[in-house]
Amino acid sequence: MLIQLIVAGIVTGAIYALVAVGLVVIYKASNVLNFAHGYISGIAAFVSLTLLTEHAWPVWGALPFSVGMSVALGLLTEALVVRPLRHERPLTVIIATLGVALILSGAISARWGPSAKLYPPFVNGSAFVVSGLAISMAQVVMVAVTVVVVGLVTAFFRFTRTGVALRAASENPTIAMLLGINLRVVSVCSWGLGGFLGGLSAVLVAPQVSLTPDAINGIMIQSFAAVVLAGFTNIPGAVAGGLITGIALNLFAGYVVSNMPNTFLLVLLLAVLMLRPHGLFGRSEGVRI
Amino acid sequence: MNGHSMRFAYAALLAATLGSLCGVTNAQTAGKVIKLGTFAPETGANSGAYPIAQATSAFFKALNAAGGINGYTFDYVIMDDQYNPALTVSAVRKLVEQDEIFAIVDGVGTGPTLAVKPYLEAHKMPNIAPSTGAAAAAGPHTYLMEQDFTNEGAYQARYAAQQLTKNGKLAVLYQNDDVGKTYLKGVQYEAHQNSKIELTAIPFQLGTLDLTPAVSRAKQSGADVVIISATPQDFAPIIKAADALAYTPKWLSLNSAASSDILKQLPPTQTQNMYFSVWTALPGTPDVQEMNAALAKYYPSVRPSALTIQGWIPGTIFAEAFRRMTDGGKPPTREGLMAALDSFKGYSNSYIRNITYAPTPGIESPHLPRPHEAITKWGDGKLQLVTPFQEVPKVAGQPGQ
């Protein structure tokens, strides 16, 4: 059972990681913890559900289109909410993202209704068993997509001019601007990328849950935990944080108590914040005297 | 505002408050429109249960379209409480004190119903057929319709022990709340009656993304029958988690989980071994045609299901009581409505069988009925009866009829 729980933890941890990386990308560029991320992501699951089940779109068409909707929503949020409030305190912008979350929650309920819906699986077939370890093709696909996407995002930040500009802007916006980096473009790119990662994670996890308007937003608490573990600004840390969260939750539920995963998670977060306020993988910014 | 107008305002407020507390008011019957209310999760984690309230609303819309009852029509107000008991209390206060409703019909959920019970009982407000099987929810003004969860759990465990298990090992996956724990009590009661049964009880938290740990524990226990106490939206993820673990026991659950739209999309390797206990008419049968037509007309996006049948039944119970009360031209009052409900002895219609609220010597809580139940099996794309509807034995010590 130990290996089985770890494998399942890696699969769900991969989803938490994708969501967490999206949150970190936005935080790095805008200094905003985006509370609308769950609903911006969730829209991709609902749009693709409609395209797949009501309009018989093929998966290769429905998924990119619906993830594109999340990207568009991310960009709209940046343009209509974050940008106009850029001179306000971060708390004001965070509250504004909460407002966006409420609007999107209402819109999803109005369009798709409150009933739980089942999302069709991308990969058919039950689990196969190898040496007593059961694993499904859907789980393999989920982890493989996460590995590829996180690899591409990491390469983007490390090797492309825009990626380097994003990193520079997050380190010191003033110097980045003096170096000719367009902060507007940086902000737009980060919100678009955040929407992409969120939308992708939503369509990957949708076949695993009963899709209600709040279902995708429901995984935000685990993803926020991954972000805290990452120290808010560290992308590889967010990936590790997501995986640690997924595995730790499964082991706790499997061997200790199966009915209090979120309580355990919050205690874990509290411990991390008390012992390492900058997270397990973040750097202490120190105090300027 | 000067002192005189302040006193006038207080007097008006006092009069309005007293009016709302003293039986039916003229305002409620003016124009012979009776205002009714309910609370339901239109949004939030349990919004999958919202079709229950939509079905009740469809019932009243259809009833009004057919001319109402004895000249009265009904205005049914649904308040969104997000399945959050704290919000339920404020929603119900608004219904009672501002909207001046005549009665609550079909409040959705155990937690919310228990949260508002003291308030509604204190205000002598009839609370008719809330969607809960928690015995503690029944009261002098609160009339349940569902089977008590403890009796339900025992009924399922008995069927599993006698008809389904081959190795005598049962597991129960139960949601970690009042519903799940009450249900577990019945399953454990039955397991203790049968020395050949080995029971593993596994709690889980509602809304958990990955239910692999809970299902893994059931698999490791060697159980060949798993009883599930879960909301409809947690039922499917449990089955999917089992499929990912290549675990294929026989499943036994409540009919509220048996949405045909959901079951048709689950892996056939799992659904071929699925059983459900039911206390309502079966979806897709001629018994529920009236509901299907009303939903198609008033809520076309809501698919008929076990949940909508569960929502339609409170309408039928209220309508029957209201009809008994107002036959002969008697004016509607809350006291009259409860007297009519208290006259129910084995009341049945095509949606539910055997509702009794009549006081009976030795029955501690008469507003907790025991509707007849049956066991069904999923096959050929629909639920099929494997036992006839029959009386459910009462667990020793449980209150109710």
Residue pLDDT, tens place only, A194-223: 999 999 999 998 888 888 888 888 788 888
Per DSSP, the residues of B8-44 read: HHHHHHHHHHHHHHSS--HHHHGGGEEEEEEEE-SSS
pLDDT (0 to 100) of residue A125: 65
Among A221, A222, A240, smallest CA distance to A279 is for: A240
User: CA A287 to CA A184: how far, in whole Å?
Assistant: 29
Pairing of strands B198-204, B225-229: unpaired
Return the beta strands (E) in B106-162 as ranges. 127-128, 142-143
As given in the structure block, the two tokens for residue B312 are 């339609």
Note the pTM of the prediction, 2 decimals.
0.77
Residue B380: CA atoms inside 13 Å, Cβ hemisphere, count?
Answer: 4
The residue among B398, B369, B366, B397 whose CA lies nearest residue B140 is B366
| Lookup: tokens for A99 | 């407002």
Cross-chain Cβ contact B47/A214 below 8 Å: yes
Task: For domain B3-147+286-370, give the CATH superfamily.
Answer: Response regulator (3.40.50.2300)
B chain contacts of residue A113, beta-carbon cutoff 8 Å: 50, 301-302
**A247 in B contact zone (CB under 8 Å):** no
How would residue A287 be classed by pLDDT, with cut points 50, 70 and 90? Answer: low
Q: Tell whether the torsion through CA atoms of A13, A197, A267 and A31 is positive or negative.
A: positive
Give me the residues paired with residue B173 across strands. Answer: B202, B228
Q: Residue B19: name the closest of B98, B72, B128, B92 by CA.
A: B98
Can you tell me the distance from the alpha carbon of A28 to that of B180, in angstroms, rounded to the nearest whole number?
Answer: 43
The encoded tokens of residue A170 equal: 């997050």
Cα dist. A17→A20, A79, B237 in Å? 5, 26, 21
Tokens for B238? 């449990």
- What is the distance between the alpha carbons of residues A168 and A170, in angstroms, rounded to a whole number? 5
Rounded to an integer, what distance in angstroms lies between the CA atom of residue B58 and that of residue A81? 39
CB distance B385 to B392 below 8 Å: no
**B272 and A CB contact within 8 Å:** no
Q: Report the residue of chain A nearest B266, measured CA to CA.
A: A118
Beta strands in B60-149 (DSSP E): 73-80, 103-105, 127-128, 142-143
A213 contacts in chain B (CB < 8 Å):
43, 47
Residues of A in contact with B235 (CB under 8 A): 210
Q: Identify the sign of the CA torsion A36, A41, A44, A49.
A: negative
Chain A residue nearest residue B217, CA to CA = A254
Q: Which residue of B has its CA nearest to A246?
A: B210
With cut-offs at 50, 70 and 90, classify the pLDDT of residue A286: low
Domain ranges of chain B: 3-147+286-370, 149-278+375-385
B181 — contact with chain A (CB < 8 Å)?
no
3-state helix, strand, coil in chain A (%, to 5): 70, 5, 25
Contact between residue A32 and residue A93 where contact means Cβ atoms under 8 Å apart: yes
Record the tokens describing residue B348, joined without a space. Answer: 């049945």
Interface contact A254, partner B, CB < 8 A: yes
Rounded CA-CA distance A91/B245 in Å is 44
Q: How far apart are CA B332 and CA B323, in angstroms?
A: 10
How far is B210 from A144, CA to CA, in rounded Å? 18
What is chain B's pLDDT, residue by residue, as a tens digit (401 residues)? 444 444 444 444 444 443 443 444 443 444 599 999 999 998 876 788 899 999 999 999 999 999 999 999 999 999 999 888 889 999 999 999 999 999 999 999 888 999 999 999 999 999 999 998 888 899 999 999 998 889 999 999 999 999 999 999 999 999 877 788 888 999 999 999 888 899 999 888 777 777 888 898 899 899 999 999 887 778 888 998 898 888 999 999 987 776 777 888 888 899 999 999 999 999 889 999 999 999 999 999 898 988 899 999 999 999 999 999 999 899 999 999 999 999 999 999 999 999 999 988 878 888 999 999 999 999 888 889 999 999 988 888 888 78
The two tokens of residue B226 are 């798993």
**Residues of chain A contacting B212 with CB distance shorter than 8 Å:** 4-5, 8, 250, 254
Provide DSSP, A259-271.
T-HHHHHHHHHHH
Mean pLDDT lowest among A47-51, A137-141, B181-185, B238-242? A137-141
Tally the C-alpha atoms within 13 A of residue B127's C-alpha that lie toward its C-beta: 33
pLDDT at B19: 40
CA distance linking residue A196 with residue A74, whole number of Å: 8
Backbone angles phi, psi at B91, to 5 degrees: -65, -40
What does the DSSP 8-state code read for residue B382? E
User: Around B385, how many Cα atoms within 13 Å sit in the side-chain half-sphere?
Assistant: 13
The yes-or-no verdict on residue A281 having pLDDT over 50 is yes
Nearest-Cα distance to chain B for A20, in Å, is: 16
> Quick check: A208 contacting B, CB < 8 Å?
yes
The minimum CA-CA distance between B230 and chain A, rounded to whole Å, is 13
CATH number of the domain at B149-278+375-385, out of 3.30.460.80, 3.40.50.2300, 3.40.190.10, 3.30.930.10?
Answer: 3.40.50.2300
Q: Are residues A253 and B44, on separate chains, in Cβ contact within 8 Å? A: no
Among A18, A212, A260, A262, the residue to mutate for chain B (most B Cβ within 10 A): A212
Tell me how crowded residue B167 is: count the other CB atoms within 10 A of its CB.
11
Distance CA B374, CA B390 (A): 6
Could you give the angle at which helices A2-30 and A161-171 cross, rounded to 10 degrees? 80
CA–CA separation, B201 and B226 (whole Å): 10
Which amino acid, A242? G
pLDDT computed for residue B258 by the predictor: 66
The complex's ipTM?
0.73
Asked if B11 contacts B20 with a C-beta cutoff of 8 angstroms, the reply is: no
Q: Is A5 on the interface with B (CB under 8 A)?
A: yes
CA A203 to CA A216: how far, in whole Å?
9
Q: How far apart are the first and last CA of chain A?
A: 53
* Distance (Å, whole) CA A227 – CA A23: 7
How, if at all, do strands B374-379 and B274-278 pair? antiparallel
